[in-house]
Amino acid sequence: MEERHVPPGFGEMMKFGLVDALLGRRSRRFFMGAELPDGVFAYTSRHDPVPLSELEKLLVVAACGGNTSWHHMIYRAARYAPNLSNYACAAGGRTFPSSAGFHTSKTFFTDDKGVYILDSRDAPAFGDRDPEGCLDLEQALDAVRESIRKIGDARLSLPPEVPYVEAHNTWVVNHPGTLLVIPVGDLAQHVLAGLCYYLQNGTVFFDDINRRPIPGIRRYRHLADVDNAVPLTFLDQWSLAEVAVELAASCFAGTLMLQAMGLGGWMFDGIDPFGMLGAGGNSDVQGLGFRYDTSDRWPYPNSTGLEGVMEGFCPPHFPDMRSAVEALCHRKFGPGGPFHPDTPGPWKDSRKVRSSATVHDEEFRECVALQAQYMFDTFGKFPGTVPSIFVITYLQAHHLDLDFYDRFFEPGAYLKTHAEHMARWHLP
């Protein structure tokens, strides 16, 4: 790690118990430098804001989106046993789960110095586990540091005011001294991976909104039960729920780290998603600056990606949905992918394991692309009825103003790690 002078709090963090983190979890919002102007908790901090140190920031971000060595894969499905299940899209595991190993999200974050992305989505293992199953945290943190890219030179352009932040959070969200972690899901890619998943299990879809089958789908009746197709809205809604769980799990991992480190903060969803992505309709509020489009067919703007940083698997970042299907297959079966024979892994014969998955053939890809292109042509975007890019849950970390809690709360409002944090992490 860059900071070789590890503070005493680091060692204490390593010994902190999981049960203590679970039972000690609380939303602790009042930070050093904060102010509540009125009401029963009216209080003005006597301290200046204290930004997180580079080590503190790295630990929180790693908890929310770090790599945890190799994904172990899903071993078997009756339809194509004994071949290895080929659902997953990433070879590396992360600190949070993703449905069927799709892992379509990326981790953005912002502080006083800028806006950043931790891109561990397709990273190889950040380290190998020892015989007891443990990873070297120092090695993993070095890999996290190398995977972070700065994409903005100032704090995220999202003012802490209504309508961009919920009224009850305007006094605390994205203020000086705070760290805001923003997991973002590529819902377009997740739905595309879902089309593959369902076709692998003999299922295709029909347009339940326009009450018609997808034209041309019957020629794939030997791949799926085309007479019992599933509604497209089910695919969209189920995928949205799966991505929401992925993003929330990322933030929850971060909340457990806050308890162990003695940092304040909490996970929440009280930020306008359109403003966060840059689709809020105000040129002065750029958020993350994602591209977005509008249409009379949609009730809301639709964000699709940030060029060169996180591009959704859909037009305009791909010329058509067949191209997006090819990109997804390259992610799965190409170099570094979970089913490429040369990708390392945790098994004694990783080449044999990875090679045992069936590669999506031309006909399979055609069937997936047919359904995806129908959705795009019919609804003007992909997916048809939910956003292409999705945000919902955030994690904020900051240094607690203990004076506030001592003023208004009975003892026990914060943990010993919070009580000792400044002395144990910020040495003179």
- Cβ partners under 8 Å of residue 205, min gap 6: 195, 198, 214, 229, 230, 231, 232, 234, 235, 371
Q: What average pLDDT score do residues 271-281 get?
A: 95
Q: With the C-alpha atoms ordered 369, 358, 327, 291, is the resulting torsion angle positive or negative?
A: positive
- Cα separation, 40 vs 386, in Å, equals 41
What are the structural domains, with CATH classification, of the chain? 8-425 (3.40.109.10)
Q: Global pTM?
A: 0.96
Q: Using one digit for the tens of pLDDT, what is the confidence trace for 15-57? A: 999 999 999 999 999 999 999 999 999 999 999 999 999 999 9
What does the pLDDT look like over 303-315, one tens digit per residue? 999 999 999 999 9
By the 8 A CB rule, do 293 and 381 touch? Answer: yes
- Average confidence score pLDDT of the chain: 96
Nearest to 59 by CA among 347, 421, 344, 427: 421
Question: For a pLDDT cut of 90, what percent of the chain falls above it?
Answer: 94
Report the percentage of the chain scoring pLDDT > 70.
99
Exposed, middle or buried by CB within 10 Å (0-12, 13-18, 19+), for 323? middle
For residue 110, the SS3 value is strand
> Band of the pLDDT at 2, cuts 50, 70, 90?
very low
C-alpha span between 312 and 78 (Å, rounded): 32
